[in-house]
């Protein structure tokens, strides 16, 4: 069982990319222009700190009950890609920032 789990384990946190249209981003813009959407994906097992172990243990002792806490590091962008500009269906130009990740890390 443990072997099986090890096999299906996800890759460590890293940058992945996908081609999507501006409309598909769901930001409220209507444009067929395609952009490269870079996002962070993967696990952060190797980035577990004493903080995470301690928090998990204290929580399991039911010393923390009402608050929402996260006892695992999270794979998130450390920085974002440059602005992206595009022409929309109404022939207006727009520029949006912090749409796409540039660098990922476990935080």
Partner 1 sequence: VWAGPSPPAALDLQGWQTSVDCARANELCAAEPGCSSSYRTLRQCLAGRDHNTMLGNRECRAALEVLQGSALYGCRCKRKMKKELLCLQIYWSIHLGLAGGEEFYEASPYEPITSPLSDVFRLASIVSGTDPVANSRSNHCLDAAKACNLNDNCKRLRSAYISTCNKGVSATEHCSRRKCHKALRHFFDRVPSEYTHRLLFCSCKSQACAERRRQAIVPYCSYEEKEKPNCLALRSQCRAEPLCRSRLADFHTNCQAFHQFLTSCSRDNYQACLGSYTGLIGLDMTPNYVDASFSSLVVSPWCSCRGSGNMEEECEKFLKDFTENPCLRNAIQAFGNGTGLTFS
Binding site for partner 1 (CB under 8 A): 19, 32-36, 82-87, 91, 93-95
Choice between 30 and 45, CB closer to partner 1? 30
Choice between 33 and 52, CB closer to partner 1? 33
Closest distance between partner 1 and the C-beta of residue 26, in Å?
Answer: 18
Q: Which helix (H) or strand (E) holds 105?
A: strand 101-106
Choice between 31 and 73, CB closer to partner 1? 31
Closest distance between partner 1 and the C-beta of residue 95, in Å?
Answer: 4
Closest distance between partner 1 and the C-beta of residue 33, in Å?
Answer: 5
Choice between 45 and 98, CB closer to partner 1? 98
DSSP string spanning 38-78? EEEESB-GGG--HHHHHHHHHHHTTS--SS----S--EEEE
Within 32-91, where are the H helices? 50-60
Sign for the CA dihedral angle at 68, 72, 78, 84 comes to negative
Closest distance between partner 1 and the C-beta of residue 76, in Å?
Answer: 22
Two tokens, residue 44: 């952060």
Two tokens, residue 102: 């540039």
């Amino acid at each position: 069982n443990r072997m099986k789990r090890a096999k299906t384990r996800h890759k460590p946190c890293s940058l992945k990319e996908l081609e999507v249209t501006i409309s598909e981003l769901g930001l409220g813009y209507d444009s067929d222009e395609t952009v490269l959407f870079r996002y962070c994906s993967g696990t952060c097992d190797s980035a577990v700190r004493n903080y995470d172990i301690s928090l998990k243990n204290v929580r399991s002792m039911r010393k923390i009950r009402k608050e929402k806490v996260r006892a695992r590091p999270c794979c998130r962008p450390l920085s974002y890609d440059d602005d992206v500009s595009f022409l929309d269906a109404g022939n207006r130009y727009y520029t949006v920032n912090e749409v796409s990740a540039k660098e990922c890390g476990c935080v």
